[in-house]
Amino acid sequence: MKNILLAALAGSLLAGPLQAQSQRDGYKFLEAVKKRQGDEATLLLEEPGSVLVNSRDISSGETALHIVTQRRDAVWLRFLLSKGANPNLADKHGTTPLQLAAQLGFSEGVEILAGRGAAVDVPNSTGETPLIAAVHRRDSGLVRLLIEKGADPDRADNSGRTARDYARLMGARSTMLEEIERAEADRGEQAEAYGPS
């Protein structure tokens, strides 16, 4: 029993320094991404057993994907995703990189992230989906892209309103409702055309 307790104590003493080193490396990695230091970021990611690609900022919860999406950097976005970055990690506000790309109108980022497995209907902490963000922006191209990628225009936010509801609230001069319906029709035609007839 005494040996088991000593082993557990030794393990916990070692875990502290290892965890601290991991946090320092995560900080270094995020700083390299922020400063666009590709060589430094690559060196850190190539260490055996490295999981730094999904490091999070302690205060915001942001990952490297959030950082590069914020600056609309498609090259770094592709690089990080190729190194195994998880496109579905949310920051402390529940915002995923795809949600952030939609809020910014960064269509190329939405395309890249969705193509690498990012969920297109994940809401942030207010329940806003990327499609709702695109409707608020009145970004018809982004609305079409998100629906093409599988976004649901009838998913409600925390207030109970959907992207379709917000489009209706914009009135007759807004083309958002028409864009939603056109994109849904196009998606339906594509679905029917798939497979043998």
**CA neighbor of 148 nearest in space, from 186, 104, 99:** 186
pLDDT of residue 13: 43
60-81 burial, b at 16+ Cβ within 10 Å, e below that, comes to eebbbbbbbbbeebeebbebbb
The topology (CATH level 3) of 1-89 is: 1.25.40
Q: What is the pLDDT of residues 122-178, one digit of tens each?
A: 999 999 999 999 999 999 999 999 999 999 999 999 999 999 999 999 987 778 899
CA 43/CA 113 separation, integer angstroms = 24
Domain boundaries, given as residue ranges, for the chain: 1-89, 120-197
| Dist CA 106 CA 87 (whole Å) | 15
Q: What is the homologous superfamily of the domain 120-197 according to CATH?
A: Ankyrin repeat-containing domain (1.25.40.20)
Are 177 and 145 spatial neighbours (Cβ–Cβ below 8 Å)? no
Write the DSSP string, 32-55: HHHTT-HHHHHHHHTSTT--GGG-
Confidence of residue 5 (pLDDT cuts 50, 70, 90): very low
Q: Which pLDDT score, from 0 to 100, does residue 192 have?
A: 45
Give the pLDDT confidence score for residue 24 in this predicted structure.
Answer: 87
pLDDT of 64 higher than 70 = yes
Find the mean pLDDT for residues 86-113.
97
Domains 1-89 and 120-197 share a fold: yes
**Amino acid at site 17:** P
What percentage of the chain has pLDDT greater than the value 90?
72
